[in-house]
Structure 1
């Protein structure tokens, strides 16, 4: 699922920030979602919120990605030639 499909289909508030060295993607699932978890498998970010699973494909060129979720906000930090 691309970022555009993810936000349109699921209604999540999403922001993407571009910096010189990296790109950061933030997705707000809501502050009530404190039991959410995130995992990175190959080029796919997998988020589990309650009984729902969301998958988001990283863009081509994302060499090194780090993910975490805090207070219902998923953050994906990506390095590489995006």
Structure 2
């Protein structure tokens, strides 16, 4: 998973955390984007914020991924041997 695509032009704060066999990616799009949506389709995470769409592939070895957006903060939790 790459954080650069979220922080280059938009100014979002993005972080990646490692917890044993779990990786968490968090991107703050801001409270004004609370209606943003996220979905996972065939190993691809798709995020829609206003008129912008971001897509990225889950890493090889990802067994399970949980994605959600709350108050404009995207969270992707990935389990597995990355």
TM-score, normalization: structure 2? 0.85
Q: How many angstroms does 1:21 deviate by?
A: 3.0
Aligned to 1:15: 15
| Structure 1 gap ranges (5+) | none
Aligned to 1:45: 45
Q: How many angstroms does 1:53 deviate by?
A: 1.0
TM-score, normalization: structure 1? 0.85
- Report if the CA contact (8 A) 2:6-2:14 is conserved: no
Q: Give the root-mean-square deviation of aligned CA atoms.
A: 1.8
